[in-house]
A = this chain, B = another copy of it.
């Protein structure tokens, strides 16, 4: 049930995220705001009003990104941009994306109230889309701004109900020529405040994570070909057992990942067996590999070495091996100077922080390829995200806003 009670306070990051979570609130206490749907539109409209109330000049672009602008006194074109994405996964949490927008508005509001107009223009952005949860395309918001995504990319796309991307965009009042063009060349830097979506900060009792890199990511499908045979009549030495070979490979991969580097992660999350019958030796096993690290060289040497061992094991067991590399995203380094600025503030305030990598993708990954970008984390309780159980303590939310405010102050005033 959506509360329609008198306006709630939005003075703190906690209050602001609670307020924003009313738009798309689900029965389980989560949030569903899919790109261009009614809840999404309601949220963007509400944010627009909130920006105006906060003394910001608000505007949309053609893609549906919403900006709140605090004009600088110096007539430079270069804009300091902060924000995150407004869309969610289905029944997602209150903080993923939304927190970065809420924090940006609060930061700009308090800067304007305390210090008046900045020298350099600052804008907060509510990016229209990041998750890819309605249409099979991610980073539509940051991608439009940087030029990574174009209208061409959406021509064929439809959501699960058959509505085309273009139709959904037009119905919500967006599309080419409706507002300002989405692509920008005036962005000086981008700063994103986001929940960690992992449990490293909580486990290590840190309030803030300063991200050095968004990790590179490689994904593979590994197919093991064996021979189907009767589980009762085929002695062990005669077997070409795809499941057994797969078990050996998975063990090798995970063991090696653990030994190679503390930051390296390797995951086998998906596995399919054929024919998948208890009393038949499997003729095929297909499993996924997801490996991530901040250094491209390490990803390369690790995968080469592991796959070499895979080949040896398959040869020994008479099974076939096919490895399909279907995703290869390079690591994106964040801006060292921006990180150093935040770290100085954190040291000064004696706030416990950790320099870390981001194992998940974020809009900062897109911006980071074009402009100096900084990604800052606050802890996620038990690392839970994309769930109604997503939770960050109010005190941590506030610390993030404080850091963002001070960082923006250092940059713009």
Contacts and interface: CB of A to CB of B under 8 A. Distances in A.
Interface of A: 196-200, 203, 215, 217, 219, 229-238, 241, 243-244, 246-248, 250-251, 254, 257-258, 262-271, 273, 275-282, 287-290, 292, 358-361, 383, 385-386
Contact of A198 (B233, B243, B361): B233
A275 B139 CA distance: 24
Contacts of A277: 269-270
B231 A267 contact: yes
Contact of A231 (B236, B279, B290): B290
Q: Most chain-B CB neighbours within 10 Å: which of A251, A268, A277, A383?
A: A268
A257 B236 contact: yes
25 contacts: A197-B230, A198-B233, A198-B234, A199-B234, A199-B238, A200-B235, A200-B238, A230-B385, A232-B265, A232-B359, A232-B361, A233-B359, A233-B383, A236-B265, A241-B254, A241-B267, A243-B268, A247-B247, A267-B280, A269-B282, A270-B273, A271-B271, A271-B273, A271-B276, A278-B290
B258 A250 contact: no
A247 B238 contact: no
Contact of A232 (B215, B234, B271): B215
Given A219-B278, A243-B250, A273-B271, A265 B198 contact: no
Nearest to A266: B236
Q: Most chain-B CB neighbours within 10 Å: which of A196, A236, A275?
A: A236
B358 A233 contact: yes
Contacts of A246: 247
A281 B267 contact: yes
Contacts of A266: 236
Contact of A235 (B244, B248, B262, B276): B262
Nearest to A359: B232
